[in-house]
Structure formats: structure tokens, C-alpha cells
Chains A and B, each alone.
Chain A
Amino acid sequence: MAAKTLTIDGKQITAEEGETILQAATEAGIKIPTLCHLEGVYDIGACRLCLVEVTGTPKLLPACTLKVAEGMEVSTDTERLRKYRRMTLELLFAERNHVCAVCVANGHCELQTLAYSQGMEHVRYEYTFPKWNVDNTHRLFGMDHNRCILCTRCVRVCWHIEGAGTKNVSGRGGKSKIITDLNQEWGDSESCTECGKCVMSCPTGALFQKGSTVGESERDRNKLEFIVNAREKKQWNA
């Protein structure tokens, strides 16, 4: 495969053709904030946290799906990007009911961590306080739609790592919802294998082990990557 030479934040780097900017930046030690991205499953560019600026392109582009090209000049940390990232986070907080202090993921939540790291001090948008329910019908796991940011990590791991296809998305826009099978209660699902990968993948407290109390949801996402590497690259060492 041909190598491409490009600059990210002024740093000259070489990346393989077909790699994404996110991959190339990570290899070069440049950290770009992500939220819907999850090692082990394909990217969809949904959360817009990894937006970068590319010289000559007026639009901001998601680093997780943008492929490297020869001579590309990419900036990952400009005032404009920081402003949009904060705005994106604020909109996520305003869209559903995120109450960190009493959340099972408090202290281990990627949304919360990003809000801190990106300097989100408050939410300028009006909270929408939508009415969402908790699906606690499954024997082992619960789903609190109040805390869901629709990153679809759970859907992707369910389809592409476990291969069960239990988790799906219904609806449009802010009314979109992660559903189980054909919008059934999780406890009634016939396709769910109870593997727990969706819970492991969730960046917030939306999916949790039943019985979890405040701040108890810690997730080991390396296991997902391990499974994929073991399967695809025949690497059995984590």
C-alpha cells in the first residue's frame, strides 16, 4: 500500500493509504477527542467530537471517517474546533436527562470526562427534560434512555462483534431511540445472547449491569478490541 505524507498540527507524518486521520494522528501521538468511536468496530462519524479543520476545505470533517491524502494539512486543536466541541457536548447534555451526581457511570463516563477536558463549564441551551423510560426487564442488564447519547456503539458491537443484531435504532432526530429487536422489551428479546458487549461499549450510564449503584459502572473496553484482534488478526495476546 502506498504511503501518504501529510501534516497534522504542523507535524509532518507518514500514514498508510486507507488510514483515517484519527488513526494517523493516534499513531503520531496526537490526541483527538472522540465519543462514538470505539476500537474494534467501524466508525460512523456521528458524534462530531473528532471534527478537524483541513486547509482548503471550508467544512469541518470528522477525523474518524476522513481518509488520509497526500499533502493534506490538518488542524485538530483550533479555537473554532474547541468552540464547536463544547457546543456539541452542551447539546448532548441538553437533549436528555444527564444527572452525573447520581449516575451509575459517574467518574467513569466518557461524556462527563469529555465535558471536563473540553472546558464545558455550563450548558447554554435550554434543557429539554424529555420523558424517557428505563428498560429494566432484562435478567442481567438495564437500559436508561435518559442517559443515551445515540452513539450507536451498542448497535455496532451487537451486530459486528457478537453478530446477534439485537440492538437497533428507531425513530428520527432527537426522538431516535435504541431498541431491542422489533422495539420489544429487552427481557422479551429472543435474539439477545446476554453477552454484555453492549454494556461494555456504552460510553455513558445508559446501559448498565442491573443493580448498579452510583459510580459503579466501570467498563473494560479492551475486551472488545481483544475479541476483534483475536478473530481478525489471530492475535491472542491482549
Chain B
Amino acid sequence: MAKRIVIDPVTRIEGHAKISIFMDDAGNVADAEFHVVEFRGFEKFCEGRPYPEMPGITQRICGICPVSHTLASAKAGDAIMAVNIPPAADKLRRLMNLGQFVQSHALSFFHLSAPDFLLGWDTPPATRNVFGIIASNAGLARAGIRLRQFGQEIIEILGAKKVHPAWAVPGGVRSNLSAEGRARIKAWLPEAYATTDVALEIWKKTMKTHGREIQIFGNFPSLFMGLVTPDGSWEHHGGKLRFTDSSGSIIADQVDVTNYKDYIGEAVQNTSYLKSPYYLPLGFPEGIYRVGPLARLNVAEQMGTPKADEELKKFKKLGRGAVTSSFLYHYARLIEILASLEFIERYMDDPELSSDYLCADAGINSLRGVGASEAPRGTLFHDYTVDRNGLLQKVNLIVATGQNNLAMNQTVAQIARHYVRGNDIPEAMLNRVEHGIRCYDPCLSCSTHAVGQMPLHVQLIAPDGKVLDEKMRG
């Protein structure tokens, strides 16, 4: 009898989601779907608000990546004012975004994903979490937690708060980098580099023992999108869009973010609150594309810093054309941490970050403003339409996780087809399916949940909706 397996909630991700696995009569996986079960409504309730408040409001979408939202929102505000922000403000925003990359990627790697591939898929769930890592390798766990802290301290040094700093504003930023803050970051950098080196070493060992995961965990052709500099280098704040295909060929380049609607369509599916963006010229669902670390490294020709460029060369060798396995998001994340540290180090010798010319002043010079910035998870768009008085008429947000929606669906289906058979559902199998989602480090809401504390609820559901079997863990 055909039935459906539901993994609800998916654990060790940001936010609330569930996975449905549909079985055919022969007991094989027919399909799998990833559902985001939370509804937020930000696009609606921001209507009527003055646009300068938006960096403060929209960053409440998330507690892990508030910086990404506040920066994209401030950029949309810049576009409404139609100003060039002071160079110091641009550099300071970039510094905060780099801090955000480090903290978010460290969280994803050490706290959320490493328990699976360091402790093993079949480790009991009670210890398959960051506490398990602490128990087995306290030094590594501590270093990972400290690396995340380093990124958060940068955010706090600039914005006075680790989470939800009221700092980036339309036209610029509110404060510069203090001498004391500069000294603190400088002193911490060697430790951050050392931890990143250790993580890269661990990852390289992991790749040797996880060939099957590289083959199966979201390994399929798709397009990739990310921001690049004018010369095609890695970009994280500012820059223009580039799309490449799975052979590595560029199919659209230097696209102004304001024109994203000519390239990205948004499909709505009735099974999830998450929209499914796709590459418009190819249509839905053929226009599936991925964003985030894997995509950014696929579209970029170089990182722009020596150590990260060395790693990028090794990374690019893992694919023919593009690197297509989503399991390698983890590797891409580590390379991005390395690049972020190198860029942060450069800024530490830049006197402009101490400038007090930090904010441009202008009225409303454009009734629409689009701001895009690379969030740790992928390209983030804030698109605002305002009236002549600066009150929002329409808000459109395209978040990274949405853009990876189609890819996440394919990934869970691919993994489920390999590991799920018949009526018996071993927990370790379900964990592999969940990990397919963790590769993308999706950020589904504003709130994090306590790592490892959330129960996993699995149901076997017959076509008539009757629950045949049920398992709880927690």
C-alpha cells in the first residue's frame, strides 16, 4: 500500500520544517517533499512603515542572520535615496557581513552538521549533537564555538549587539570601528585561522571516507547563482549577479540586482509556506538553481585572497565544470570562512574604517529600491516600493533558503531513494535524509532552537490519512 513517511520536525536547522517521503505500493520511495510549516507575513505587515525603519524590522526575520537582512534592507534604502554611501560605510558594512559569514558558517559546520559526519550517522540521536562533539573532542568543540564567537564579536564591536544591531541604516552606518575594537579583532585572528585550518583538515579526511555521501547527497545538475565583482571574483556585499550551469558555463553575467525579476520567477506550491524561485528563462521547475557557499564558489573565478584561492583551486577540481554535490556545501563554507578571515585581516590595516564620515543624506529619489547582499546561505534580495512620503507600498523579499527550495526537495528525494526501503524506518536513515537539508544550512525563521533538544516525530501515514506507525525521539 502506498504511504507517506513524515519527518517532523527536522532538527538541527534554523526554524521549523518537516519532510514527507511518499512510498509506492512496492515499498520504494516515489518522491519526497520538504515543507516549511511556519508562516511569518513580514512582506505584508511591513506595508505602511517608513523605509528607514526597515533594517530594524526585517532583521527580526532571523536571529542567526539578522546582519544579512539589515544589510540588504539598508542597501534597498540606499537605492530609494539613490545615493552612493560613503566609502567607509561600505567597508564597515562589509566587515560586519564577513563577521556574519564566520559566525554563521562556524555554527553550521561545528554545531549543526559535524555531529553527523564526525560522530557517524548511526550514533544514537541523544549524543549525535554538539554535546556529543564536546564529549568526544572537547578541544575541537571549544575551538568551533570560539570561532563562532569571533564572528559575533565583530558584529558586536561594530553594532553594539551580537544579535539585531541597530547599526546599518539607509545611506550608511551609525558608527565606525573603534581603536579598541580593531585591536581585539587583530589579536583574535591567529586563533581563528588556526581553527579554520583544523576544520579544513578534518573536512579533507571526511571527504575520503564519505565518497558515497558526496555521490548521493544532492548530487545533480542545476544552475548556480551568486554575486560577483566586475572581474568575476567572489563577492558578498554589492556586486552583480552571475548564473552558471552545471558545466560551469556562464549563462547570465553582471546582472544588476534591480533587474532580478527578469531572471528569477517565484512559484508557489500548496504544500509549503516557502516559495520556490527559479531561473525564469528556463521556466519552472527546469530553472532550478542553487545559491549559497557551493553556488558562490561555482560562479566565482577566484576568491581574491591568497589562502582561500589555493583552496578554491582544490575545490574546483572536485567537479567537471561545476561542483554539483550539495554535500560539498560544507567544504565551500570552510573556504568562505578562510576568505572572510583574510578580508577581515586586510581591513585591520585600513585607516578608513575609523572615519567619521559614515552616512549619506538624501530624500526619496526613487520610488523603488532593491538591495541584495550575500547572506551566509545565499543571495538575499529586499525589494521595496515606497510612496512619495517614504511609506512602504510593497515589499518583496527573496531569501536564500527559498532559492534552494527546489534543490532541497531533489536532495531529500535522492537520499530517500537510496536509503529508505519497505516499512521499517531506521532512525539513522531518517537522519541521512535530514542531513540533506542541513547541507544547505537552511534558515527558516527568526529563531534558533536549542540544539539537539527538539524531538523528531516520524509517522507512517496510509493514503487514507490513517497513522500506521509512529516513532518519537527527543
Given A101-B164, A213-B166, A134-B50 contact (CB < 8 Å): yes
B389 contacts partner chain A, Cβ-Cβ < 8 Å = yes
B389, A136: Cβ atoms under 8 Å?
Answer: yes
In this assembly, does B60 line the interface, its C-beta being within 8 Å of a C-beta of chain A?
Answer: yes
B60–A104 contact, CB under 8 A?
A: no
Closest A residue to B169 by beta carbon equals: A213
Option from B53, B60, B164 in Cβ contact (under 8 Å) with A213 = B53
| B52→A213 contact, CB < 8 A | yes
A133 CA to B390 CA, complexed, in Å:
13
Would you mind naming 26 contact pairs between A and B with Cβ atoms under 8 Å apart? A101-B56, A101-B60, A102-B56, A102-B57, A104-B53, A133-B48, A134-B48, A134-B50, A134-B391, A136-B50, A136-B389, A136-B391, A142-B50, A187-B389, A210-B50, A210-B390, A211-B52, A212-B52, A213-B53, A213-B55, A213-B56, A214-B53, A214-B55, A214-B56, A214-B166, A215-B166
**Least Cβ–Cβ distance between A215 and chain B, in angstroms:** 5
Chain B CB within 8 A of A137 CB: yes
**Chain A residues positioned under 8 Å from B166 (CB to CB):** 106, 213-215
Residues of A within 8 A of B (CB): 101-102, 104, 106, 133-134, 136-137, 142, 187, 210-215
A39 CB, min distance to chain B CBs, angstroms = 29
A-B contact count (CB 8 A): 39
B390, A136: Cβ atoms under 8 Å? yes
The 3 closest A-B pairs by CB, nearest first: A214-B56, A214-B166, A136-B389
Asked if B49 is at the interface (CB within 8 A of a chain A CB), the reply is yes
Closest chain B residue to A208, Cβ basis? B50
Bitwise, B379-391 to A at CB < 8 A (1) or not (0) is 0000000000111
- Give CA–CA (A134, B50) in the complex, Å: 8
Minimum CB–CB distance from B212 to chain A (whole Å) comes to 46
Q: What is the distance, in angstroms, from A217's C-beta to the closest C-beta of chain B? A: 11
Shortest CB-to-CB span from A131 to chain B, Å, is 9
Residues of B within 8 A of A187 (CB): 389
Shortest C-beta distance, B135 to chain A (Å), equals: 37
Q: How far is the CA of A102 from the CA of B61 in the complex (A)?
A: 12
Residues B17-69 near A (CB distance < 8 A): 48-50, 52-53, 55-57, 60
Q: Roughly how many angstroms separate A142 CA and B49 CA in the complex, as a whole number?
A: 11
As a 0/1 sequence over residues 233 to 244 of chain B, the CB contacts with chain A under 8 angstroms (1 = contact) are 000000000000
The answer for the CA separation of A4 and B57 in the assembled complex, in Å, is: 53
CA distance A118 to B55 in the complex (A): 31
Task: With CB as the reference atom, state the residue of chain A lying closest to B171.
Answer: A211
Residues of chain B lying within 8 A (CB to CB) of residue A101 = 56, 60, 164
> Chain A's interface: helix, strand, loop or mixed, by majority?
loop
Chain B min CB distance to A212 (Å): 6
Within 8 Å CB of A210, what residues of B? Answer: 50, 390
How distant is the Cα of A102 from the Cα of B169 in the complex, in angstroms?
13
CA–CA, A101 and B163, complex, Å: 12
Most buried by A among B52, B53, B390: B53
Given contacts A102-B57, A136-B391, A213-B52, 16 further A-B contacts (CB under 8 A): A101-B56, A101-B164, A102-B53, A104-B53, A106-B166, A133-B48, A134-B48, A134-B391, A136-B50, A136-B389, A210-B50, A212-B52, A213-B53, A213-B170, A213-B174, A214-B53
| Contact assessment for B60 and A102 in the assembled complex, using a CB-CB cutoff below 8 Å | yes
A212's nearest neighbour on chain B, judged by CB, is B52
A177 to chain B, nearest CB (A): 16
Nearest CB in chain A to that of B165: its residue: A214
B168 and chain A: residue at smallest CB distance: A213
A134 CA / B390 CA spacing, docked (Å) = 10
Question: Given the complex, which residues of A lie within 8 Å of B164, measured CB to CB?
Answer: 101
Using Cβ atoms and an 8 Å threshold, which residues of chain A touch B60? 101-102
Chain B residue at minimum C-beta to C-beta distance from A139: B363
Which chain B residues border A134 with CB–CB below 8 Å? 48-50, 391
Please give, as numbers and ranges, the residues of chain A lying within 8 Å of B56 by CB-CB distance: 101-102, 213-214
Q: Give the distance to chain A from B310, nearest Cβ to Cβ, in Å.
A: 41
Contacts of A104 in B (CB 8 A): 53
Minimum CB–CB distance from A30 to chain B (whole Å) comes to 35
Nearest CB in chain A: distance from B58 CB, A: 9
For residue B40, give the distance in angstroms from its CB to the closest CB of chain A.
15
Question: In whole Å, how far is B156's beta carbon from the nearest beta carbon of chain A?
Answer: 16
- A136 and B52 alpha carbons, distance in the complex (Å): 12
Of B56, B57, B174, the most chain A CB neighbours within 10 A belong to B56
A102 CA to B165 CA in the complex, in Å? 11
Chain A nearest CB: distance from B206 CB in Å? 40
Pick from A102, A137, A213, A215: contact of B389, CB under 8 Å: A137
Cα–Cα distance between A163 and B240 once the two chains are bound (Å): 54
Q: Tell me the bound Cα distance from A173 to B216 in angstroms.
A: 65
Look across to chain A and name the residue whose beta carbon is closest to the beta carbon of B361.
A211
Query: Which residues of chain A have C-beta atoms less than 8 A from B170's C-beta?
Result: 211, 213
In the complex, how many angstroms separate the beta carbon of A147 from the nearest chain B beta carbon? 11
- The minimal Cβ–Cβ distance linking A96 to chain B, given in whole angstroms, is 14
Interface centre among A102, A134, A210, A212 (most CB of B within 10 A): A102
User: What are the interface flags for B129-167 relative to A under an 8 Å C-beta threshold, 1 for contact and 0 otherwise?
Assistant: 000000000000000000000000000000000001010
Q: Nearest A residue to B388 by beta-carbon distance?
A: A137
